[in-house]
């Protein structure tokens, strides 16, 4: 079995080299690599290796293999990379992979030198570059060329590991090649061009990355922090290749604005409470009311012109004496009008009209039985009370039933139009082609009618005009009422409301960018899965965010921001469109809409678009169901568990479990109903979210497993998606290898340490802070669950 771990955005069309340093033969090959640009060199087991001799007579060596590259044109040796240390074994198995990036262009003449050391001082910082006398001792080396490997039988080379004098054989090295795509020896000429293209892609990707050290930069606050994608590919000769995508992103939060007063969840609750107080001279409307007001405004603005256009089509069909056209136009007109009436069937419109009338100057003035305090003072002083200015009218009492009448007039007008069309149809003679006798009564009605057949339009026109007038009157009143609601919300919100809206936009923007990235990745990965595509347009996808934030200090504010931002993603839908061209610029997702609803349009190349189900190609909105689960694991969470408040975490997990469970119950697809273990996983997760247990990371494991079983999109986050996130991602990948690909449990921890020491995650750290160290110290790690602790030498005090 071969495992590769690479940035998903980069092409990987080249060979993978699997180099077996001194190792043993009891397990299938497990190889770990960083990324794929040109080729990969990965250490794997060799059945030829036995009895590696250590530096002491009885002592078993702590083996490490250093890889160096020799450019035959330049004739100098470049130390490139090394494996992990395998302690106390004469038959060590190396799991760490080594990547040759574009600065080492592949050619048949390229030489690779493997040097084996016995590391005596593991604590030294220069273990990655061992030299004789500096904490390690030389055991042996071997050199081979790329051309030797390309021409080898069965894509393998068996080489002898030699002592420093080149005489004594101290072991055997098996070098093998694993294809990462089909490529023949003659294709070597194309490597240079492919490498240049890979470099261009990598440069394009890196420009868009917001590193974790830029959290406090305001001009970047709408951009997600350290958004990173990678794909794990598992290859086994006897099984189909498997792929697992990983998306990590820093917690969507307003890092620049800070968390002194808490995050969005707390700030919004406080703001709503303040708006209800008497300190505000306005009418309080809840967020649900303002959302409904926006929905009503959108509906009437959209439906009124449609109704008007359909009414004109009805008159045109009447003028053409087309009964079929008349019935079709009436059907469409009736449908849109009923939709219009239903949109306004809400008590909010009626109550807002009354509130608007009461808020106008002069309302109720003539009904005052008692003068105001100022008027009484004027009367006591012998002064006549001041009169209102003539420009302010005194309104009559509002008729609360008026809106019901105006609203009902639309339906009545439509019924009149329907009745007239029915009458015209009764007057229409039967088609001559049917050769049936025409009833005498029908002929008599047609002849005696005071309106001849040519006056269909004249009979319908007054009724249609009346319908338009009723619709227009309703629209005017509804717009006034709903605008009044929004103005009240705005009046109560200034200036704090504007600040909160801007903060919410910042958080939502970061979450939306991550979601769009994940959706596109999941879509491309499932293009050939008909069951997935059917699920996509029938139900939608779950988007599960895993968070490792603590519920202490400023991370509480981050979690409160993140909770609101993830929840707001329910307003997002996706739509698949046909790209204009296959140019990468024309394949970028586009966001359209407004705050109450967004649509992300995802263009696909023509060949991919044609394979989609009809419903998706027709532009059906594809829904996502965002859920968030959080379990803090660091030393701050220890403080919160013992002395603080963890109710926020408990509420988030319980609420989002209900959303996930509801989504599962909405799935009626057979492929999910037959998975009894999926139901069991959900029940176990439900039990865990209500269990009082400190740092219950099983919640995260269960939620992640359920999400993958449901074909969902997975995200992992912490403050910067760099340190704690790396521990979680590598643990998840090793668990997948163990559970799905029979990774021997005896090598689970070894593989886990290798992924954390070498691989995409430590490269991600380097990309963010220009240092290959996780930002942990020993005291912090003592509070971590053991399975989340990195290996020695990979962490330290750094500026993150």
Cβ atoms of residues 228 and 142 within 8 Å: no
Tallying the residues shown for the chain, one arrives at 800
Pick the catalytic residue: 49, 470, 517, 718? Answer: 718
* CA distances (Å), origin 48, targets 28, 41, 45, 175, 286: 14, 19, 9, 11, 74
Nearest to 545 by CA among 227, 106, 156: 227
Q: In b/e form, how buried is each residue of 197-227, taking b as 16+ CB within 10 angstroms? A: ebeebbeeeeeebbbbbbbeeeeebbbbbbb
Q: Count the alpha carbons within 13 Å of 671 in the hemisphere toward its beta carbon.
A: 10
Give the three-class secondary structure for 679: helix
In the block, tokens 């007001």 appear at 293
Residue 490 · residue 290 · CB < 8 Å = no
> 37-67 b/e with 16+ CB inside 10 Å = b?
bbbbbbbbbbebbeebbbeeeeebbbbbbbb
Angle at 640 between CA 636 and CA 646, to 5 degrees: 130
Host H or E run for residue 543: strand 541-547
Whose CA is closest to 611, among 512, 505, 527?
A: 527
Question: In the annotation, is 517 catalytic?
Answer: no
Is the dihedral angle over the CA atoms 783, 786, 787, 789 positive or is it negative? positive
Q: What CA–CA distance (Å, rounded) separates 248 from 546? A: 9
β-strands 156-162, 169-179: how paired? antiparallel
Report whether 251 contacts 566 (CB < 8 A). Answer: no
Residue linked to tokens 């992640």: 704
Ramachandran class of 319: left when φ > 0, alpha when ψ lies in -120 to 50, beta otherwise:
alpha
Whether 47 contacts 174, CB under 8 Å? yes
795 DSSP 8-state letter: B
Active site residues: 718
């Amino acid at each position: 079995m071969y495992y590769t771990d690479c940035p998903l955005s980069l092409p990987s069309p080249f060979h993978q080299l699997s180099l077996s340093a001194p190792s043993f033969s009891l397990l299938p090959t497990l190889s770990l690599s960083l990324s794929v640009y040109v080729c990969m060199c990965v250490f794997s087991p060799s059945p030829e290796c036995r009895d590696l001799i250590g530096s002491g007579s009885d002592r078993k060596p702590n083996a490490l293999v250093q890889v160096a590259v020799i450019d035959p044109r330049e004739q100098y040796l470049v130390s490139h990379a090394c494996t992990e240390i395998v302690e106390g074994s004469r038959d060590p198995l190396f799991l760490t992979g080594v990547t040759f990036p574009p600065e080492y262009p592949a050619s048949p003449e390229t030489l690779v030198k493997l040097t084996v050391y016995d590391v005596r001082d593991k604590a030294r910082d220069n273990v990655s570059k061992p030299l004789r006398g500096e904490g390690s001792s030389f055991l042996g080396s071997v050199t081979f060329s790329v051309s030797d490997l390309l021409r080898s039988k069965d894509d393998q080379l068996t080489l002898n590991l030699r002592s420093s004098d080149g005489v004594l054989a101290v072991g055997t090295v098996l070098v093998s090649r694993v294809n990462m795509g089909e490529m023949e020896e003659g294709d070597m000429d194309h490597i240079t061009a492919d490498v240049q293209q890979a470099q261009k892609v990598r440069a394009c990707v890196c420009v868009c990355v917001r590193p974790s050290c830029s959290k406090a930069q305001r001009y970047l606050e709408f951009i997600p922090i350290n958004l990173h994608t990678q794909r794990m590919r598992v290859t086994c000769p006897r099984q189909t290749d498997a792929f697992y995508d990983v998306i990590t992103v820093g917690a969507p939060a307003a890092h620049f604005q800070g968390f002194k007063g808490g995050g969005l969840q707390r700030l919004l609750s406080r703001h709503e409470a303040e708006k209800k107080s008497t300190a505000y001279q306005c009418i309080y409307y809840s967020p649900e009311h303002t959302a409904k007001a926006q929905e009503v405004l959108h509906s009437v603005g959209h439906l009124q012109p449609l109704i008007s256009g359909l009414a004109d089509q009805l008159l045109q069909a009447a003028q053409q004496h087309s009964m079929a056209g008349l019935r079709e136009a009436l059907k469409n007109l009736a449908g849109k009008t009923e939709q219009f009436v239903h949109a306004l069937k809400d008590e909010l419109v009626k109550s807002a009209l009354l509130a608007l009338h009461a808020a106008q100057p002069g309302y109720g003035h003539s009904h005052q039985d008692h003068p105001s305090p100022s008027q009484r003072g004027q009367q006591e002083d012998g002064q006549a009370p001041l009169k209102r200015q003539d420009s302010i009218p005194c309104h009559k009492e509002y008729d609360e039933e008026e809106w019901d009448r105006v609203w009902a007039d639309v339906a009545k007008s439509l019924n009149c139009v329907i009745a007239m069309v029915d009458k015209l149809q009764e007057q229409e003679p039967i088609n001559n082609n049917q050769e049936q006798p025409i009833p005498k009564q029908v002929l008599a009605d047609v002849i005696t009618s005071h309106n001849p057949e040519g006056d269909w339009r004249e009979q319908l026109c007054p009724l249609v005009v009346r319908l338009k007038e009723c619709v227009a009157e309703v629209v005017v009143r509804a717009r006034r009422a709903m605008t009044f609601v929004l103005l009240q919300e705005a009046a109560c919100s200034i200036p704090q409301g504007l600040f909160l809206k801007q903060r919410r936009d910042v958080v939502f923007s970061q979450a939306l960018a991550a979601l769009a990235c994940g959706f596109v990745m999941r879509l491309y990965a499932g293009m050939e899965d008909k069951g997935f595509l059917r699920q996509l347009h029938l139900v939608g996808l779950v988007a599960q965010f895993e968070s490792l934030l603590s519920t202490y200090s400023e991370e509480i504010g981050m979690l409160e921001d993140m909770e609101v931002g993830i929840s707001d993603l329910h307003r997002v839908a996706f739509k698949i469109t046909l790209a204009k061209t296959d140019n990468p610029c024309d394949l970028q997702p586009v966001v359209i809409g407004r705050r109450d609803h967004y649509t992300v349009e995802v263009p696909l190349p023509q060949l991919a678009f044609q394979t989609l189900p009809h419903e998706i190609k027709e532009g059906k909105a594809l829904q996502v169901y965002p859920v968030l689960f959080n379990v803090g694991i660091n030393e701050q969470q220890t403080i919160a568990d013992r002395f603080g408040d963890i109710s926020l975490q408990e509420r988030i997990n319980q609420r989002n479990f209900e959303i996930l469970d509801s989504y599962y119950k909405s799935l009626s697809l057979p492929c999910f109903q037959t998975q009894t273990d999926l139901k069991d996983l959900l029940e176990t997760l439900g039990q865990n979210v209500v269990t009082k247990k400190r740092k219950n990371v099983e919640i995260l494991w269960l939620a992640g497993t359920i999400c993958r079983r449901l074909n969902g999109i997975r995200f992992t986050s912490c403050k910067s998606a760099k340190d704690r996130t790396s521990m979680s991602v590598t643990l998840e990948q090793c668990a997948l290898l163990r559970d799905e690909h029979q990774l021997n449990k005896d090598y689970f921890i070894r593989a886990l340490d290798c992924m954390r020491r070498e691989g995409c995650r430590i490269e991600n750290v380097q990309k963010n802070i220009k240092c290959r160290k996780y930002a942990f110290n020993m005291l912090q790690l003592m509070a971590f669950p053991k399975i989340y602790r990195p290996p020695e030498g990979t962490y330290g005090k750094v500026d993150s």
